[in-house]
Amino acid sequence: MNAQTFPNPSPEATRLSASDLWNRLRRFYERRGPRAWAIDGVPNHVTINPGMARRYAHVALRYAQDCRRLGLGAAAPFAVVEMGAGSGGFGYRLHQALTGLRDALGMDDLKLAQVISDMAESNLESWREQAGLRPLLAQGAVTGVQFDAMAGEAAGPVGREPIAPPVFLANYLFDSLPMDLFRVTGGCLHEALATVEAPPEGDEPVDLSAVTISWTYRPIDLPYYGDAALDATLADCLGQPDDDYWVLFPLGAMRCLAHLRALAGGPMLVIAGDLGSTRFPSFPLEEPQLIIPGAYFYAPVDFALLAKYAARLDGHALHQARDRVLNISLFSFGIPFEQLRETRLAADIFFDMVSHSLIFDSMRHMLDSGAPPSLPLFLDLAAAGSFDPALFDGMIEVLQTELRAGLHPPELWEQLVEILDRFVDNVFVTPGGADTVFNIANLLQELQDYPRALVFYERSARLFGETPATLYNMGVCAYLAGDPEDALARLARVVALDPSHVMARGWIAQIEHDRDAPPPPDAL
């Protein structure tokens, strides 16, 4: 992006929040649905992994307990509303975490009302067909609704019926809501007007990485937005010791908080996790950039300004103890955090002491460093990462290499085998996504545990569909487990699907030869 300053902006120049880029981003998610994550490369491992779901669940249920202790909505439904639920993977894992923790805490009387919401109807349609979410939606255990975080009329029971103070989850949502850019210099605010040159849209996603944004800066007076809380927060941007810095103003996130505040009509908690910073100014040295990896984009969130804005709506902010690239902040409205003892304790433990950033950075280091044999470290991180299938998928080749090299004693491999079911419990099937169950079966096959490998291959076929590769491995495992007739039946299905499958034909010929050959003389 190119930064320019002219006294007279071009007629096409607009506030960043009014740029058509945000409409393009919205249309991208509406058109692509779950393909945005499965095919177009929108990152989602950090946002939907089971460890993150467990952390959110702990804080949400501790908030429910705090509200009960304060005499708020003990008998009413407790709503947990995820906004911008996307593929639905986080909502599925959140349901597992919420219900498991509720039962473990003995909160049997808690009327849990979990809502997953998104603005894109294409995502709602995909949830109704997804293997894990489909039964939850049909049973009413989870409610899926179309909801605009800045303007939606209701989110499940919120806004429709009496409920306990709700929890809203903005899990990597705010970085995709409209923002404005300002520069503070000479003690004055300057608005940044954007002139955007972008390729035309088509039926398929258009790469925006070549987009050109030219900025025109001009001084402004307050009030700017015509909204008292917004303008007061913008005024807070002045008066820093450094008199030359930029402000990426999270306008969409602020409007979302205001809308949720009105919708809830009383106390509520918002948990927001995103790329961003809790320090202000966030950009003291250089002009901030939109991050444009391809057909989509996002921008870092200024959590410090969100906290200032929330305070003007009777809100209170709780940030992580250390500012991180990936931050999670809590915003409580109507109840100060001094009264939310259990909520603060859960946040301290799950967002600071054992933060998602720590686990994610450790996993990334392990996968990227090319470190020496790592099965022991993997076993430790598997539990710390809540048995994340993506961790297993990222390590499968390393594990197979270590197994073939005989680097670890059998007892250590048996420890791995004992936890494999826990990875499968967290599998969320998406189009084009990794088949973790197949990878587990493949490792068991290399461990020569053929009966167990066969069980996992069958689970893979049920979840991801029968493929020649799955059926072929099932046939080989059946034969090596001592069942040649079962092996022949499975291998015949491979050939039916792929007549050119030479390996399957070779196994069939060998098994039939062995079956039909006369017994050796000493067996008579």
Read off the pLDDT of residues 280-300 as tens digits, 9 standing for 90 and up. 887 776 777 888 888 889 999
How many CB atoms are closer than 10 A to CB 468?
A: 17
* Lowest-confidence region among 65-79, 219-233, 351-365: 351-365
Residues 253 and 304: beta-carbon distance below 8 Å: no
Residue 259 has pLDDT above 80, yes or no: yes
User: Which of 185 and 519 is assigned the larger pLDDT?
Assistant: 185
Show which of 353, 376, 394 is a domain's final residue: 353
Based on the domain organization, do 99 and 231 belong to the same domain? no
Beta bridge partners of 189: 184
Residues 296, 300, 305, 307, Cα dihedral to 10°: 90
What is the chain's mean pLDDT, rounded? Answer: 89
In a domain, 294, yes or no: yes
Residue 35 in this model has a pLDDT that exceeds 90 = no
Within 405-449, residue ranges assigned H as helices are 410-425, 436-446
Residue 506 has pLDDT above 60, yes or no: yes
* Claim to verify: residue 416 and residue 377 sit in the same structural domain: yes
Domain end call among 243, 270, 292: 243
Q: What is the pLDDT of residue 155?
A: 76
For residue 32, being part of any structural domain is answered with no
CB 155, CB 147: distance < 8 Å: yes
Of the candidates 143, 173, 152, the residue with the CA atom closest to the CA atom of residue 77 = 143
497 and 379 in a single domain? The answer is: yes
Judgement on whether residues 347 and 368 belong to the same structural domain of the protein: no
For residue 248, tell me if it sits in a domain.
Answer: no
**pLDDT value of position 206:** 82
The answer to whether residue 439 is domain-embedded is: yes
**Is 37 among the domain residues?**
no
What is the C-alpha to C-alpha distance for residues 187 and 52, in angstroms, rounded to an integer? 41
Same domain, 376 and 406: yes
Same domain, 287 and 220: no
Indicate the pLDDT class of residue 484, thresholds 50, 70 and 90: very high
Q: What is the pLDDT of residues 85-136, one digit of tens each?
A: 999 999 999 999 999 999 999 998 999 999 999 999 999 999 999 999 999 9
Q: Are strands 212-219 and 167-171 parallel, antiparallel or unpaired?
A: unpaired
Asked if residue 437 and residue 409 are part of one domain, the reply reads yes
pLDDT of residue 41: 80
Q: What's residue 524's pLDDT? A: 44
Whichever domain contains 380, its CATH number is 1.25.40.10
Which is higher by pLDDT, 476 or 9?
476
231 and 285 belong to one structural domain: no
Tell me: do 231 and 309 sit in the same domain: no
Which residue segment(s) compose the domain that 435 sits in?
360-522
Degrees to nearest 5, angle at CA 401 with 491 and 503? 20
How far is residue 320's CA from residue 267's CA, in Å, rounded to a whole number? Answer: 22
CATH code (residue 137): 3.40.50.150
| Domain stops at, among 353, 369, 395 | 353
- Structural domain contains residue 67: yes
The reply to whether 35 falls in a domain is no
According to the per-residue pLDDT averaged within each range, which of 48-52, 279-283, 513-517 is highest?
48-52
Let me know whether 117 and 143 are in one domain.
yes
Report how many domains make up the chain: 3
Sign of the C-alpha dihedral, residues 190, 195, 196, 197? negative
Q: Where residue 520 falls among pLDDT bands split at 50, 70, 90?
A: low
User: How many C-beta atoms lie closer than 10 Å to residue 483's C-beta?
Assistant: 17
- pLDDT band (50, 70, 90) for residue 231: very high
Give the Cα separation of 46 and 28 in Å (integer).
21
Q: Quick one: 265 and 229 in the same domain? A: no
Say whether both 325 and 396 belong to one domain: no
